[in-house]
Amino acid sequence: MLFNSIEYLVFFLAVLAFSWATVKLPVFRICILLLANYYFYASNNYWLIVVFFITTQIDYWCAILIEDANSEKRRKLLLYVSVVTNLLILGFFKYCNFFADTVVDIARLFGVELGWTSLNIVLPLGISFYTFQSLAYTIDVYRKEIKAVRFWPKFSFFISYFPHIIAGPIIRPHYFLPQLDKKPTLNFAQLEMALMYIFRGLLKKIVFSDFISNFADQAFNDPGSCDVFSIWLGVYAFTFQIYFDFSGYSDIAIGCARLMGYEIPENFHRPYMSRSVTEFWRRWHMSLSFWLRDYLYIPLGGSRVNKEYKVYRNLMLTMLLGGLWHGAAWHFVVWGGLQGLFLCIEKYFGIGNYKADDTKLNLKRLFQIFLVFHFAVFSWIIFRAENTERLLEIFKRMFTFDQDIVIYYGTAVAVVIMLIGLLNQFVDEYTSFTKRYINSPIYLKSLYYSIVVMAMVFFSTDEVKQFIYFQF
């Protein structure tokens, strides 16, 4: 069930009506919404709900037992049970074939032939997201930062909340669980904000992302047929496609949650306006970045270690694992390693840490944004290319001028969409669109919604395209 489908619209409106009809019955409301969460997840592949159910059961009981344990040894053992079980489940479904194929390939290098047939394992949707979210819960209980939840529907609702379960954001327990103890509210300002997020997300997905994805697909699926202009257009198109697609999902999730009276944190903060790779990772997929920082980088020692090289080791390990989190393939590991390498370089030279309130615009800032943006462009090529052969072919075509340039139908529209995406981030860096929207007169808001709806109708196709991050 996709956000950009009629099926989801009907489902959401029904859930929204039930959620507010039962607002005076908080326990019943949570149970009703929990059933909706499970139905939403099961609609994608009904039997995989069993995997999800096992994960929530293990972490629910582990957290309670950790809190009740009377010795540190027992608390730590129970934490290990939670962490190891979650990682084993994630590893089997997501990385089993990858690791087995890697062992076979390494053995072949030494002249040893090992027999292995890749298993046809169905990847549960959102497993990387809800596994990290559930792990954060048990770890936080172990750290005594939160109390264990002793009402299973409440805990399961937190993990399975349908707006974000498939592709995030990864919600931290201290942020969301307290909301379940309060009576939800929805005033007119919150309603306006929620609708703004939903329509903005749909615009990003249906109009922007899905349209320019055609140019990205051509460049990455068949680079040999592309001239130099088409290949560059496709590379830039994917750079904006992945932003529009992923941030669009997050926007819709935030808006839907707010309509039901809950808050979901922002996941993007104008990433293509970053002046360093360090800043980029504080703006892109922030829920994952901060999760990796708090549950991996800092536990490894972070920057507070007795040897300088350990800081760089911690950065590299964090980003390598962050790359592997995105998918079971070596190009994701290489992509993560590249991010880690540049974070280490910036750390070594003492650059990359900029004040959040430093918004002074000058040529130096513009040059920094230009460099980091194009670092992102080239790193997304590694992220998207399926193998080394395809990657090298794309880089070759980007600097080969042996074909006549062909301008395809819709090229101008694709270029305009990308420019709008870049300009929107640039303008929003210095003036808040959200505040201007809320303070604008009703006729301008009506015009905004009318334009978005007409654009969605014009650009929509019979095929409902799924979101990129569903595969992670």
- What pLDDT digit, counting tens, does each position of 295-334 carry? 999 999 988 888 888 999 999 999 999 999 998 888 999 9
- Give pLDDT, residue 443: 81
Per residue in 34-80, pLDDT tens?
999 999 988 877 778 888 888 899 999 999 999 999 999 999 999 99
Q: Which two tokens stand for residue 133?
A: 């979210």
DSSP per-residue codes, 209-238: IHHHHHHHHHHHH-GGG--HHHHHHHHHHH
Q: What is the 3-state secondary structure (H, E, C) of 328-352?
A: CCHHHHHHHHHHHHHHHHHHHHCCC
Angle between helices 127-142 and 72-109 (to 10 degrees): 150
Catalytic residues: 326
Nearest Cα residue to 372 out of 281, 444, 450, 457: 281
Given the structure tokens 């040893």, which residue do they identify?
A: 112
Range name among 30-34, 253-257, 439-443 with the lowest pLDDT average: 439-443
- Give pLDDT, residue 460: 78
Range name among 82-91, 119-128, 433-442 with the lowest pLDDT average: 433-442
Mean pLDDT value of segment 265-280? 94
3-state secondary structure of 46: helix
Find all residues with CB under 8 Å of 249, minimum gap 6, and list them: 3, 166, 167, 168, 201, 205, 467, 469
Q: What span, in angstroms and rounded, lies between the C-alpha atoms of 298 and 174?
A: 18
Per residue in 119-153, pLDDT tens?
777 788 889 999 999 999 999 999 999 999 999 99
- Give pLDDT, residue 174: 94
Q: What span, in angstroms and rounded, lies between the C-alpha atoms of 368 and 448?
A: 33
- Give pLDDT, residue 109: 79
* Helical segments of 297-432, H only: 308-326, 330-349, 363-384, 388-398, 411-428
- pLDDT-derived band at 85, boundaries 50, 70, 90: very high
Sign, Cα dihedral of 468, 157, 132, 283: positive
- Give pLDDT, residue 457: 86
Mean pLDDT value of segment 408-424? 90
Q: What span, in angstroms and rounded, lies between the C-alpha atoms of 166 and 160?
A: 9
- Give pLDDT, residue 357: 61
- pLDDT-derived band at 5, boundaries 50, 70, 90: confident
Angle between helices 6-21 and 26-42 (to 10 degrees): 170
Domain spans of the chain? Answer: 6-183, 189-275+354-471
pLDDT at 380 over 80: yes
Mean pLDDT value of segment 389-411? 84
- pLDDT-derived band at 261, boundaries 50, 70, 90: very high
